Structure 1
Amino acid sequence: MENEDIRKWENLDIDVLVKIFQTFDIHGKTSGLGHICRTWRDAACDPMLWHTLDLSTVSSNFIRIQVEPYAYVGEQSDKELTKLLKISLNLSRGSVKTLIFNVNLYVNDSQLTYTAERCPNLKHLVLPAWNRIKETVICKAISIWTDLESLTMASVLNPPYLMEQISQHCKNFSELKIMGPCDISFVQTLIRCVPKLKVLSLRCSLVYLDALLLILDGLENLEVLNISHCIIGDALPTPATTNVVEKLDASVIKKSKRLREFYTCMDATCIMCQRTRDDEGLLRWYRYEEGLWKEDEVKSLAV
């Protein structure tokens, strides 16, 4: 005689299923849960699972090359990422608000376009690798992400087009993290395009002293600034000829007093400071501990 007290998996309460699925990584969430039965499908599509689409553990199969885009990605790797994005974004049904890409995940134009169109409510974007993305494509994505508030991006040489797009379309934009050198021309672009910026992180980068002073003077709404483990250089144009400032001078300290939070570390014995100097202000994250690139002294920018 069949035991009627035995509960079947498909009859498990959907809230319980969602809690279980929340413990899965991106590979677990996209492993075919929705094909078991209707209840599992509903649970797999629950918005609570997809407020954050975390691809920080997914890397491209690539080799570094000497010409643009400086990384060659294997065809199979692209296919696998495209499949992962299609499954994830189909299940998420537009509920993704935070999107995190790995520092070694080289997204191409079609992948970014597909993602942008299916994440119209995005607020937080972590995209550290831009090698394969055209200007027109990232601009189109920004025009879709009108709710964007926070961006972590690779260092690119004064991309006014990007900040201009953010200025035009993202009225609530307030947090920015740059993973690479920052010069005065880029700061001038920030002041012109995103004057209401509240949080800025430049950690583990080369920051020129004149740019730092301009940040403190020109970004009047800035509340939080992170220059931990940075090389603070004089105004000379290239890292090879930059004279490193060993200690912040009185003018910088005085101007920083107005900030709510000001993070610095210029300790010669600090491992991260040493690494920044070794890499001349553009950290080669693949040399170091896995996941180290996710860290930030500013909690809202840590992944």
Structure 2
Amino acid sequence: MPNIEKLALPIWCYQTEKSLRFAFSQWKNLKTLIIAHEHSYTGIFDFKAVGESCSNLTNLKYLGHLEDYKTREIVPYLQSLKRLSLRCSLVSYEAVYWLIIGLQNLTMLNVSHCKNSYFHAITRSRDDFVITTATQKLDKFIICPQDCRICKDHQCCYSWSYLAEDWRNDEIKELDF
């Protein structure tokens, strides 16, 4: 299927680095990628392979634990991203900041229902520096309200939230599953 434009990769689908690289080399027209990633189950996901092959990729939804080193891999290779959703992921404030300043074409970022490394919801009252940077640079920055029902209902580690239904929805329509 060389002409697909939207692809969702569930947590259990990864093969080897070589097979992943080959598959993405065939998808030159890919515009939207939705990926559930849990390093302990799937191993390393190669964003370099995606970036080198999929120059039309403008939409990414990532679900899982986005570690700081993964952010450093995303930024140089996915510069064409306009819309990024980390909805229901576990991500640090630093990773969010580096994505905001590093992805030059980014216009929308969704961090709703995310937890940071200390399991606090990412909200307006947490890290004003990240919020200020995002609101100055982005057209749309989506975070949870203080009294978010979804965040209050989920006290578990958010890297497991792909088992829940909440991650399938998205406030960015191009990334709704």
Matches within 5 A, 1:107-256: 119-131=1-13, 133-157=15-39, 159=44, 162-233=46-117, 242=118, 244=120, 247-256=125-134
Structure 2 distance, partners of 1:254, 1:292, is 27
Displacement of 1:249:
2.4
Give the gaps of 5 or more residues in structure 1. Answer: 1-118, 234-241
Structure 1 contact 129–153 (Cα < 8 Å) conserved = yes
Displacement of 1:178:
0.8
Q: What letter is aligned with 2:130?
A: V
Give the gaps of 5 or more residues in structure 2. Answer: none
Structure 2 contact 31–58 (Cα < 8 Å) conserved = yes
Task: Pick 1 or 2: higher relative contact order, CA cutoff 8 A, min separation 6.
Answer: 2
1:262 paired with 2:141, answer yes
Structure 2 distance, partners of 1:208, 1:294, is 21
Per-residue CA distance 1:164-184 (angstroms, 9 max, x = gap): 112221111111111111121
Structure 1 distance, partners of 2:11, 2:119, is 28
Task: Please state whether the residue corresponding to 1:217 is helix, strand or coil.
Answer: helix
Task: Please state whether the residue corresponding to 1:255 is helix, strand or coil.
Answer: helix
CA distance change for structure 1 residues 143 and 183 in 2, over 3 Å: closer, same or farther? same
Per-residue CA distance 1:102-157 (angstroms, 9 max, x = gap): xxxxxxxxxxxxxxxxx110111011223553322222111111111110011244
Structure 1 distance, partners of 2:67, 2:162, is 21
Structure 1 contact 229–266 (Cα < 8 Å) conserved = no
Task: Please state whether the residue corresponding to 1:225 is helix, strand or coil.
Answer: strand
Structure 2 distance, partners of 1:266, 1:141, is 39
CA distance change for structure 1 residues 202 and 243 in 2, over 3 Å: closer, same or farther? closer
Superposed CA RMSD: 2.2
The structure number with the bigger radius of gyration is 1
Please give the TM-score of this superposition, normalised by the length of structure 1: 0.52
Length, aligned pairs only: 171
Structure 1 distance, partners of 2:153, 2:19, is 33
1:302 paired with 2:169, answer no
Match of 1:279 among 148, 156, 176: 156
CA distance change for structure 1 residues 192 and 159 in 2, over 3 Å: closer, same or farther? farther
Structure 2 distance, partners of 1:180, 1:274, is 19
Structure 2 distance, partners of 1:129, 1:171, is 24
Please give the TM-score of this superposition, normalised by the length of structure 2: 0.85
Structure 2 distance, partners of 1:265, 1:244, is 12
Structure 1 distance, partners of 2:167, 2:89, is 12
Per-residue CA distance 1:1-60 (angstroms, 9 max, x = gap): xxxxxxxxxxxxxxxxxxxxxxxxxxxxxxxxxxxxxxxxxxxxxxxxxxxxxxxxxxxx
